[in-house]
């Protein structure tokens, strides 16, 4: 019995040493655990993008064109904040793919939702009072909007066969509106978006007025995931995007 009591007895110093060792080990393993969790979110994002790209390509196979970013036919409407604006009469790309059941209807969950998008981002309204209607993925407006303006369709509908470099051109990927006061490497976003304009500033966000608009989002360890028009998925850093590495937004190309 005395031996057992001696075995179970610990001094205060010994307990403090054990606790200190445990805290050191936790400090070592928590960053590793965080990286493992982010790797899982990034892998899930890649899987989502492959499915989204497959839906685009299936639609294109059936209808001989990509879905519109905007219809080219605009009608008046009243925004949630009471102001007047114009909206496309027909469905844009994410509405089309949902309506025709190429993808599930809920754009804030499942294949539509990047797991690195925070719930708070989905609740934030835009400047006109609209809540988010997408889960973190978007197209390049410069590519999808080349074919129309507010008055008429200027060109033929967008098709993969018209794009000079489908394996290097952005089809769908991480998109978000940067949080005020953030920098690209921080990965902080105010809300997701369904399209973006070409990035242009190395080392910092591109701005349109006082606030940065929707841009490619660096949601995965300072990199953004995106699927090309041939369906494969890549990732890039902000500076690679700002210099348009590989001309991924097809600047200056005719198609």
Q: Which stretch of 113-117, 122-126, 225-229, 238-242 has the lowest confidence by average pLDDT? A: 122-126
Give the 3-state DSSP-derived string for 181-240, with helices as H, strands as E and coil as C. CCCHHHCCEEEECCEECCCCCCCCCCCECCECCCEECCCCCCCEEEEECCCCEEEECHHH
Cβ(121)–Cβ(179) below 8 Å:
no
Rounded CA-CA distance 182/204 in Å is: 9
3 state SS of 145: coil
pLDDT above 60: residue 34: no
Residue 32: is its pLDDT beyond 60? no
> What's the pLDDT tens digit per position in 208-251?
666 788 899 999 989 999 999 999 999 999 999 999 999 999 99
Q: What does the alpha-carbon distance between residue 108 and residue 163 come to, in Å, rounded to a whole number?
A: 30
Query: 70 — alpha (psi -120 to 50), left (phi > 0) or beta?
Result: beta
Q: What are the domain boundaries of the chain?
A: 9-247
The candidate with the shortest Cα–Cα distance to 198, out of 190, 189, 206, is 206
Give dist(CA 229, CA 140) in Å, integer: 12
pLDDT per residue as tens digits for the range 69-86:
876 566 777 777 777 776
Residue with tokens 């080392």: 203
The count of other CB atoms within 10 Å of the CB of residue 156 is 10
What residues contact residue 214 under an 8 Å CB cut-off, 6+ apart? 138, 175, 176, 177, 193, 194, 195, 196, 197
Other Cβ atoms less than 10 A from the Cβ of 129: the count is: 11
């Amino acid at each position: 019995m005395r031996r057992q009591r001696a075995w179970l007895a610990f001094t205060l110093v010994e307990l403090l040493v054990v606790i200190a060792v445990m805290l050191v080990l936790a400090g070592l393993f928590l960053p590793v655990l965080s990286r493992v969790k982010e790797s899982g979110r990034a892998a899930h994002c890649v899987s989502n993008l492959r499915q989204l790209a497959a839906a685009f390509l299936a639609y294109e196979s059936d209808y001989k064109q990509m879905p519109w970013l905007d219809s080219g036919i605009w009608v008046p409407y009243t925004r949630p904040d009471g102001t007047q604006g114009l909206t496309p009469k027909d469905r844009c790309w994410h509405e089309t793919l949902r309506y025709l059941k190429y993808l599930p209807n809920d754009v804030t969950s499942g294949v539509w939702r990047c797991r690195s998008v925070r719930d708070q981002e989905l609740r934030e309204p835009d400047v006109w009072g609209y809540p988010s209607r997408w889960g973190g993925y978007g197209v390049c407006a410069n590519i999808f909007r080349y074919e129309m303006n507010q008055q008429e369709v200027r060109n033929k509908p967008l098709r993969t066969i018209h794009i000079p470099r489908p394996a290097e051109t952005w089809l769908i990927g991480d998109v978000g509106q940067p949080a005020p006061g953030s920098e690209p490497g921080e990965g902080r976003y105010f809300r997701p978006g369904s399209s973006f304009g070409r990035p242009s500033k190395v080392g910092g966000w591109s701005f349109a007025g006082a606030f940065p608009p929707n841009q490619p989002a660096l949601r995965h360890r300072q990199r953004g995931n995106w699927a090309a028009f041939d369906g494969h998925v890549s990732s890039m850093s902000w500076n690679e995007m700002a210099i348009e590495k590989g001309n991924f937004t097809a600047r200056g190309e005719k198609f």
